Structure 1
Amino acid sequence: MTDPRLSDTSVFPDPVYKETVLRPLFDSAKNHHVEAFRAIDRAHLVMLNETGILDADQAGKIAGALDSIDAEVDPTTLVYTGEVEDFFFLIERELKKRLGPDLAGRLHTARSRNDIDHTLFKLGLKARLDVLIDKALALHVALINAAEREKATLIVAYTHGQPAQPSTLGHYLSAVTEVLARDIERLFEAYRIVDLSPMGAAAITTSGFAIDRARVAELLGFAAPLQNSYSCIAGVDYITSTYGAMELMFLHLGRPIQDLQFWTSFEVGQIYVPNALVQISSIMPQKRNPVPIEHLRHLASQTFGRARAMLDVMHNTPFTDMNDSEGETQAMGYQAFDSAYRVLDLLAALVAQIKVDPAKVANNIRRSCITITELADSLVRREGLSFREGHEIAASVAKAVVAAGGDLQTDGYAPFLAAFEHSTGRKTTIDQTLFAELVSPEYFVSVRTRFGGPAPAPLDAAIAGYRDKAADFSARHSALVQRATDAAHTLKQRFEELKETA
């Protein structure tokens, strides 16, 4: 049988392959990774000069050529023709035009598209994580501010979709704040994993040249080089950690968003959304539609879904360098960041403006008898009853008040007297004035002074702790941004110095 390689006269690239694979990859690179390509070329060049692999004259001429490419080639206008395989080879071709093949080819000493690609993708994720963390921190502060503003504002807290107990909006928002803080910690941890440079791994096993991987990492703004060179090109945990953290964040944010949808319904109505965030029906002028909450819900779900899709793409892939984790997959993941930014911005704006409708809350508390738990507790403390006996008396009172459509504070005392005497065989020491106080929502909240409760003392302490955490987050994020800024300045300075030596 004839070896097919001997009779193969086809020429790369096949037209269909060109249109279905190479063109989309080229367009993705020019749209997302041009600046990272430039930074990697410059950092690698500086390192090659500093280690003596390239002399000053060689490095200076390459630097000048890279500069001229930037000035003369506008990536946004490029149309893929198939003359070169991808954006990397386009730059290499441009270098050869200016320097000749020998000198132009020296820039690629001790590196590969493998380590270049993963460095590109990490730089892309770092930049996006910077923005995501910044916006998450803004939401975190907005939640803290709203929690402090509404720390004494009564609401109905629900369990299983039913009115359960009175609390405060500040206490509820504090719970959301705590979950968000844990999600932000996961983003910082993802950033820490992304923040290790693959450059110098080359194809798989590093290089026989005396390169300085730590110097390239420093110039590119990474914390350090990723140690194992195989992991540099195979370990996609920087992708899964990033999108895993995003998936959890937007799963968690979707839950209070859903609560806001429920709480703004006409029947519940305990949250009021201001006119600036309400759309009026085109046919029903009486309808106030708080549609930003719906947009938050579906955008949070889209972000969750896009992040989950990134994890699905990584599932059961081989532990090696592979296209599954590269250009088009990275571009797909960037869509998760785009919707994430919108959710964080809109939710921060909404949280800053929502108010509680006190009349609705008072009416829902009255209709639902949700302070009755405190009556049972008070009977234990004041009358020496067991909790079960106190609970049975309280249940009898609530049943009678609800059946009569009454108000627990004003209409519950008579049923209470009867239930108490029937259960204990004696009269209560609680008079009507004290009874009304014990079953008031204000009293219910005020006595819950335990750690983590809604009473003023524990809630104030919690909010103070959240502000400390916010300050810590801000300092950590500022340090990351400053390191990137300093690295960019150093790289630019060293690159300009190289140009002067040509």
Structure 2
Amino acid sequence: MTDPRLNDKTVFPDPVYKETVLRPLFDGAKNHHVEAFRAIDRAHLVMLSETGILDAGQARQIADALDNIDAEIDPASLVYTGEVEDFFFLIEKELKKRLGPDLAGRLHTARSRNDIDHTLFKLGLKDRLDVLIGKALTLHQALIDAAEREKDTLIVAYTHGQPAQPTTFGHYLSAVIEVLGRDIERLFEAYRIVDLSPMGAAAITTSGFPIDRARVAELLGFAAPLQNSYSCIAAVDYITSTYGAIELLFLHLGRPIQDLQFWTSFEVGQVYVPNSLVQISSIMPQKRNPVPIEHLRHLASQTFGRARAMLDVMHNTPFTDMNDSEGETQAMGYQAFDSAYRVLDLLAALVAQIKIDPARVASNIRRSCITITELADSLVRREGLSFREGHEIAAAVARAVVAAGGDLMANGYGPFTAAFEAATGRKSTLDEATFVELVSPEYFVAVRTRFGGPAPAPLAAAIAGYQEQAATFAADHANLLRRRNEAARALQERFAALRGTA
């Protein structure tokens, strides 16, 4: 049988392969990674010069050519023709035009598309994580400010969709703040995993040339090089850690967003959304639709789904360099960031403007007897009953008040005295004024002074702690941005020095 390779007259690229794979990859690179390509070329060239792998004259000519390419070619206007395989080879082709094949090819000494690609993707993720963390910190601070503003504002807290106990809106928001704080910590941890440079790993095993991996990492704004060279091109935990953190963040944000949707319903109505964030019906003039909350909910779900999809793509892939983790997958993941930004911005704006409707809260508290737990507790402390005895008396009072369509504070004392005497065989020592105080929502909150409770002292301590955490987050984020900016300036200066224009 004739070896098919001997009669293969086909020419790369196949037209269908060109349109279905190469063109989308080229367009993705020109849309998302041009600046990263430029930075990598410059940082690698500076390192080759500083280590003596290239002499000063060679480095200067290559630097001049790279600068000319930037001045003469607008990546946004490029149309993929198939003349070169990808954006990397386009730059190499342009270098050869200006320098000839020998000198142009020297820029690629001791590197591969493998380490270049993962460095590109990490730089792209760092850019987006910088923005995402900044927006998450803005939301975190907006929630803290709202918790401080609403620390004394009563609301009805729900369990299983039913009115449960009174608390304050500040106490509720504090719970959201704590979860968001942990999610922000996961974003910082993901950033630390992304923040290790693959450059210098080359294809798999580094190089026999005396390269300085740490120097390239420094010039590109990474914290350090990733140590194991195989890991540089095979490990995708920088992807899974990033999108895992995003997935959890938006899963968690979706839950208070759903509460806001419920609390703004006509039947509950304890949250008031201002007119600036309300849309009217096209046919029903009485409607006030808090539509931004619906957009928050579906955008949070879209972000969660896009992040989850990135994890699914990484599932059951080989531990090696592979296309599954590269250009088109990276571009798909960027969509999660795009919707994430919208959610964080809109939710921060919403949190800053919504108000609690005190009349609706008071009405809902009256109708639901949700302060009755404190009556049971007080009977233990003041009448020496067991909690179970106090609970049974309180339950009897609640049933009687609800059946009569009454108000626990206004109509509960009579049912209480009857239930107490029936259960204990004696009269209660509580007079009506004391009873009214014990079943008031203000008293319910005020006596819950334990660590983490809604009373003024523990809530103030909690909010102070969140402010400290916010300050630490802001400082950490500023340090990351400062290091990247300093690295960009250093690379610009060293590259200019190669050209003799510093």
> What band does the TM-score fall into relative to the shorter chain?
over 0.9
| Alpha-carbon distance in 2 for matches of 1:499, 1:273 | 59
- Residue equivalent to 2:41: 41
2:336 counterpart of 1:336: yes
Could you give the per-residue CA deviations for residues 13-34 of structure 1, whole angstroms, max 9, x where no partner exists? 0000000000000000000000
Ranges of 4+ aligned residues in structure 1 off by more than 3 Å? none
- Residue equivalent to 1:150: 150
> Which secondary structure does the structure 2 equivalent of 1:166 belong to?
strand
Counterpart AA for 1:45 = L
* Contact in 2 for aligned 1:156/1:164 (Cα 8 Å): yes
Counterpart AA for 1:144 = I
Flag structure 1 segments of 5+ consecutive residues without an equivalent.
none
- Residue equivalent to 2:28: 28
Kindly report which structure 2 residues correspond to 1:280-429, keeping only aligned pairs within 5 A, or say none.
Answer: 280-429=280-429
Following TM superposition, by how much is the alpha carbon of 1:184 offset from its aligned partner in structure 2, in angstroms?
0.2
Could you give the per-residue CA deviations for residues 30-56 of structure 1, whole angstroms, max 9, x where no partner exists? 000000000000000000000000011
| Alpha-carbon distance in 1 for matches of 2:3, 2:311 | 41
Flag structure 2 segments of 5+ consecutive residues without an equivalent.
none
Kindly report which structure 2 residues correspond to 1:69-108, keeping only aligned pairs within 5 A, or say none.
Answer: 69-108=69-108
Alignment RMSD? 0.7
- Residue equivalent to 1:217: 217
| Alpha-carbon distance in 2 for matches of 1:128, 1:116 | 19
Following TM superposition, by how much is the alpha carbon of 1:199 offset from its aligned partner in structure 2, in angstroms?
0.1
2:473 counterpart of 1:473: yes
- Residue equivalent to 1:457: 457
2:73 counterpart of 1:55: no
* Contact in 2 for aligned 1:154/1:169 (Cα 8 Å): yes
Counterpart AA for 2:65 = A
2:231 counterpart of 1:227: no
| Alpha-carbon distance in 1 for matches of 2:19, 2:285 | 51
| Alpha-carbon distance in 2 for matches of 1:278, 1:422 | 52
Counterpart AA for 2:67 = D
| Alpha-carbon distance in 1 for matches of 2:4, 2:148 | 75
- Residue equivalent to 1:121: 121
Counterpart AA for 1:150 = E
Following TM superposition, by how much is the alpha carbon of 1:410 offset from its aligned partner in structure 2, in angstroms?
1.0
* Contact in 2 for aligned 1:56/1:501 (Cα 8 Å): no
2:253 counterpart of 1:253: yes
| Alpha-carbon distance in 1 for matches of 2:3, 2:443 | 90
Counterpart AA for 1:395 = A
Following TM superposition, by how much is the alpha carbon of 1:271 offset from its aligned partner in structure 2, in angstroms?
0.1
Could you give the per-residue CA deviations for residues 448-471 of structure 1, whole angstroms, max 9, x where no partner exists? 000000000000000000000000
Counterpart AA for 2:353 = Q
Could you give the per-residue CA deviations for residues 125-160 of structure 1, whole angstroms, max 9, x where no partner exists? 000000000000000000000000000000000000
Following TM superposition, by how much is the alpha carbon of 1:57 offset from its aligned partner in structure 2, in angstroms?
0.5
> Which secondary structure does the structure 2 equivalent of 1:157 belong to?
strand
TM-score of the aligned structures, taking structure 1 as reference length: 1.00
Q: Which moved more, 1:426-435 or 1:492-501?
A: 492-501
* Contact in 2 for aligned 1:60/1:501 (Cα 8 Å): no
Following TM superposition, by how much is the alpha carbon of 1:501 offset from its aligned partner in structure 2, in angstroms?
8.0
| Alpha-carbon distance in 1 for matches of 2:362, 2:436 | 15
| Alpha-carbon distance in 2 for matches of 1:261, 1:6 | 68
Following TM superposition, by how much is the alpha carbon of 1:93 offset from its aligned partner in structure 2, in angstroms?
0.3
> Which secondary structure does the structure 2 equivalent of 1:406 belong to?
coil
> Which secondary structure does the structure 1 equivalent of 2:111 belong to?
coil
| Alpha-carbon distance in 2 for matches of 1:3, 1:205 | 34
| Alpha-carbon distance in 2 for matches of 1:68, 1:287 | 61
| Alpha-carbon distance in 1 for matches of 2:85, 2:170 | 57
> Which secondary structure does the structure 2 equivalent of 1:426 belong to?
coil
| Alpha-carbon distance in 2 for matches of 1:249, 1:99 | 49
> Which secondary structure does the structure 2 equivalent of 1:289 belong to?
coil
> Which secondary structure does the structure 2 equivalent of 1:280 belong to?
coil
> Which secondary structure does the structure 1 equivalent of 2:268 belong to?
coil
| Alpha-carbon distance in 2 for matches of 1:142, 1:384 | 45
- Residue equivalent to 1:207: 207
- Residue equivalent to 1:441: 441
* Contact in 2 for aligned 1:114/1:203 (Cα 8 Å): yes
> Which secondary structure does the structure 2 equivalent of 1:155 belong to?
strand
> Which secondary structure does the structure 1 equivalent of 2:399 belong to?
helix
Number of residue equivalences: 502
Kindly report which structure 2 residues correspond to 1:176-191, keeping only aligned pairs within 5 A, or say none.
Answer: 176-191=176-191
| Alpha-carbon distance in 2 for matches of 1:256, 1:471 | 24
* Contact in 2 for aligned 1:57/1:501 (Cα 8 Å): no
Following TM superposition, by how much is the alpha carbon of 1:396 offset from its aligned partner in structure 2, in angstroms?
0.2
Could you give the per-residue CA deviations for residues 229-270 of structure 1, whole angstroms, max 9, x where no partner exists? 000000000000000000000000000000000000000000
Counterpart AA for 2:333 = G
> Which secondary structure does the structure 1 equivalent of 2:500 belong to?
helix
Counterpart AA for 1:499 = R
> Which secondary structure does the structure 2 equivalent of 1:385 belong to?
coil
Counterpart AA for 2:148 = E
- Residue equivalent to 2:9: 9
| Alpha-carbon distance in 1 for matches of 2:394, 2:353 | 38
- Residue equivalent to 2:483: 483
TM-score of the aligned structures, taking structure 2 as reference length: 1.00
